[in-house]
Amino acid sequence: MSVMKKLTVLLLLCFSPYAAGEGLPDLGDVSQATLTPLQERQIGQQSMLQIRSSRQFLDDTEVNDYLNQIGDRLVGNSNEPSLEFEFFAVDDYTVNAFAMPGGYVGVNTGLLLITQSESELASVLSHEISHVTQHHYARMLSGQKGDTMISMAAIAVAILAARNSPQTSEAAIVGSQAHMIQKELDFTRVHEQEADRFGLELMQKSGYNTHAMPEFLERLQHATRLQEGNAPNYLRTHPITSDRIAEIENRVSKQPYLLLPDSLDFQLVRTKLIAAQKTSADAVSYFDHALTDKKFGNPVAQRYGLILALLRANDVARATREMKLLRAEVNDNAMVDTLEGRVKLAGKNDADTLAYYHNAVRNHPQHRALVYAYAEALLQTDQPLAASKLLTEKLSNYPADTALYQLQARSYEKLGKNLEQHQALAYSYAWQGNLKAAIEQLVLAKRAGGSFYQLSSIESDLRELREMADEQHGKK
Ligand SMILES: [Zn+2]
């Protein structure tokens, strides 16, 4: 299947042309009593496009890939293992996690930081996954009196509003049908219990320590008591009661307490978030102290954090020394490999750096952060042909990766291939849901000129995208 065909298949499910700037497109109305899985997916996609184009989306491939790794392991053991999920981090240091219909699960950086084990994180994800697989949104809407027609766009707005603070949501949904819907979107006690029950099952089947679920909820509840009136959003959307915790404790009481070592990635991801919160100078001294005190935390992760901070502080010499120490402690880890590449790149020994990336990408072909960095290094050292070969190969595995298309467009630009450059940009925009910009790029590609075959393929892509854009605007 060509890239564009796959794009068409996905975009047929998708509808938001101007997610960020121009308000919500008309998605049509749906019957409240029968929200189908496809409609759930569409509503989730709509909300996701909004989040992706906002500043809240944490644009860190390593953090997001890590969440998907844990999430996919859990989904694989659910009653809908083939449902496609997307897990993503939200750049927000308040404690929250939320599920949107159709398989989109967001986790705030604040929540990631207060989890004390991978099993605790898995307990949150498995609860959210279960809201999706049990179709709680559809059931909430159909549970209302009567069968009114409601707009899918309004549902998407209500869902986005529900995960924000009360003040923001009031402002966001005032005067719309969303306001009415939002009141219907509170998870009920029954839904919470069900998500706990199914979530525990997922954890158990996936080999996590189920006792982490009540432990985490208790800690959250305790933390909340200490800061009255400042309840994390998580507690507002998933109320924790002592009854609820007791019921979970009862369920896990007969299960073994598994003492599982956390993956190094769990530590590294959290370290990355800690480092990002601080100025570079503060981060250097924070990790320096942590390493000398040896009182708390994981020294490997702390050294990783120190090197991140040193790079930001432009202390390449020391970063290089610390990297040698870290390398002696960690044999094989994609995140550490990615960091080592950054240290080498900062050291400006181009030949060495490129050879290093070449091997690292071969060892970890699925670690996208490494691929981006390698492509970037090739572009910076004026090797656009090698970059475009690497990117073409990776795009066949990740045909929806907008960052890969953008790098591809830059390599074509350097190669003077204008048609291909605009075509790659068009795909990047199309996958972001921005059909208008995608069409503009295809028009530019056509104008740049090319072979008969290339031009007719662009012509047919254009026709499809224009049809989709027309449909979205209800012109048919
Ligand atoms: Zn819940």
Percent over 90 (pLDDT), the chain: 59
Q: Which of the four pLDDT bands, split at 50, 70 and 90, describes residue 474?
A: low
Question: What's the pLDDT score for residue 472?
Answer: 67
**Gap from CA of 150 to ligand 1 centroid (Å):** 24
Question: 189: how many CB neighbours lie within 10 A of its CB?
Answer: 11
Q: Which of the four pLDDT bands, split at 50, 70 and 90, describes residue 37?
A: confident
**Gap from CA of 134 to ligand 1 centroid (Å):** 11
**Gap from CA of 179 to ligand 1 centroid (Å):** 21
pLDDT above 80: residue 35: no
What is the rounded average pLDDT for all residues in the chain?
A: 85
pLDDT above 50: residue 23: no
pLDDT above 60: residue 5: no
**Gap from CA of 128 to ligand 1 centroid (Å):** 6
**Gap from CA of 255 to ligand 1 centroid (Å):** 22
Segment 181-197 shows an average pLDDT of 77
**Gap from CA of 58 to ligand 1 centroid (Å):** 22
**Gap from CA of 71 to ligand 1 centroid (Å):** 16
pTM of the model: 0.88
**407-441 burial: b if 16+ Cβ within 10 Å, else e:** bbbbbbbbeebbbbbbbbbbbbbbbbbbbebbbeb
Residue 16 or 329, more confident: 329
Report the C-alpha gap between 447 and 445 in whole angstroms: 5
Question: What's the pLDDT score for residue 223?
Answer: 72
Alpha carbon 92 to chain centroid, angstroms: 13
**Gap from CA of 105 to ligand 1 centroid (Å):** 12
**Gap from CA of 237 to ligand 1 centroid (Å):** 7
**Gap from CA of 436 to ligand 1 centroid (Å):** 37
Q: Which of the four pLDDT bands, split at 50, 70 and 90, describes residue 395?
A: very high
**Gap from CA of 420 to ligand 1 centroid (Å):** 46
**Gap from CA of 148 to ligand 1 centroid (Å):** 26
- Of the candidates 225, 97, 82, 233, which has an alpha carbon nearest to the alpha carbon of residue 167? 233
**Gap from CA of 123 to ligand 1 centroid (Å):** 11
Segment 17-43 shows an average pLDDT of 59
**Gap from CA of 336 to ligand 1 centroid (Å):** 34
Q: Which of the four pLDDT bands, split at 50, 70 and 90, describes residue 374?
A: very high
**Gap from CA of 131 to ligand 1 centroid (Å):** 7
Q: What's the angle, vertex CA 420, arms to CA 17 and CA 395, rounded to 5?
A: 75
Q: Which of the four pLDDT bands, split at 50, 70 and 90, describes residue 135?
A: confident
**Gap from CA of 186 to ligand 1 centroid (Å):** 9
**Gap from CA of 141 to ligand 1 centroid (Å):** 16
**Gap from CA of 72 to ligand 1 centroid (Å):** 19
Q: Do you know the residue count of the chain?
A: 476
Q: Which of the four pLDDT bands, split at 50, 70 and 90, describes residue 40?
A: confident
**224-253 burial: b if 16+ Cβ within 10 Å, else e:** beeeeeebbbbbebbebeeebbeebeebbe
**Gap from CA of 180 to ligand 1 centroid (Å):** 21
Helix-helix angle 316-329:299-312, to 10 degrees: 160
Segment 368-388 shows an average pLDDT of 97
Alpha carbon 125 to chain centroid, angstroms: 13
Q: Which of the four pLDDT bands, split at 50, 70 and 90, describes residue 476?
A: very low
pLDDT above 70: residue 16: no
Question: What's the pLDDT score for residue 412?
Answer: 98
Render pLDDT for 360-372 as a digit per residue (tens, 0 to 9).
999 999 999 999 9
Amino acid at 179: H
Segment 398-414 shows an average pLDDT of 95
**Gap from CA of 242 to ligand 1 centroid (Å):** 15
Report the C-alpha gap between 381 and 152 in whole angstroms: 48
**Gap from CA of 303 to ligand 1 centroid (Å):** 36
Question: What's the pLDDT score for residue 238?
Answer: 75
pLDDT above 60: residue 142: yes
Alpha carbon 440 to chain centroid, angstroms: 28
pLDDT above 50: residue 167: no
Question: What's the pLDDT score for residue 90?
Answer: 94
Q: Which residues contact 470 (CB under 8 A, 6 or more apart)?
A: 476
**Gap from CA of 235 to ligand 1 centroid (Å):** 9
pLDDT above 50: residue 255: yes
Q: Which of the four pLDDT bands, split at 50, 70 and 90, describes residue 171?
A: very low
Q: Which residues contact 208 (CB under 8 A, 6 or more apart)?
A: 118, 119, 122, 123, 126, 258, 260
| DSSP single-letter state for residue 247 | H
**Gap from CA of 263 to ligand 1 centroid (Å):** 26
Question: What's the pLDDT score for residue 181?
Answer: 65
Report the C-alpha gap between 359 and 14 in whole angstroms: 38
pLDDT above 80: residue 231: no
**Gap from CA of 95 to ligand 1 centroid (Å):** 14
Which residues have C-beta under 5 Å from ligand 1, the single-atom ion? Answer: 187, 192, 195, 238
Comparing 80-94, 100-114, 184-198, which segment has the lowest mean pLDDT?
184-198
CB 382 within 8 A of CB 417: no
**Gap from CA of 236 to ligand 1 centroid (Å):** 10
Percent over 70 (pLDDT), the chain: 82
Q: Which of the four pLDDT bands, split at 50, 70 and 90, describes residue 434?
A: confident
**Gap from CA of 333 to ligand 1 centroid (Å):** 34
**Gap from CA of 135 to ligand 1 centroid (Å):** 12
Question: What's the pLDDT score for residue 411?
Answer: 98
**Gap from CA of 136 to ligand 1 centroid (Å):** 10
**Gap from CA of 196 to ligand 1 centroid (Å):** 8
Residue 340 or 233, more confident: 340
Render pLDDT for 59-94 as a digit per residue (tens, 0 to 9).
999 999 999 999 999 999 999 898 889 999 999 888
Report the C-alpha gap between 8 and 381 in whole angstroms: 35
Question: What's the pLDDT score for residue 179?
Answer: 61
Segment 43-59 shows an average pLDDT of 84
Helix or strand run (H / E) with residue 443: helix 435-448
Q: Are strands 29-31 and 97-100 parallel, antiparallel or unpaired?
A: unpaired
Segment 197-217 shows an average pLDDT of 96
**Gap from CA of 407 to ligand 1 centroid (Å):** 39
**Gap from CA of 101 to ligand 1 centroid (Å):** 13
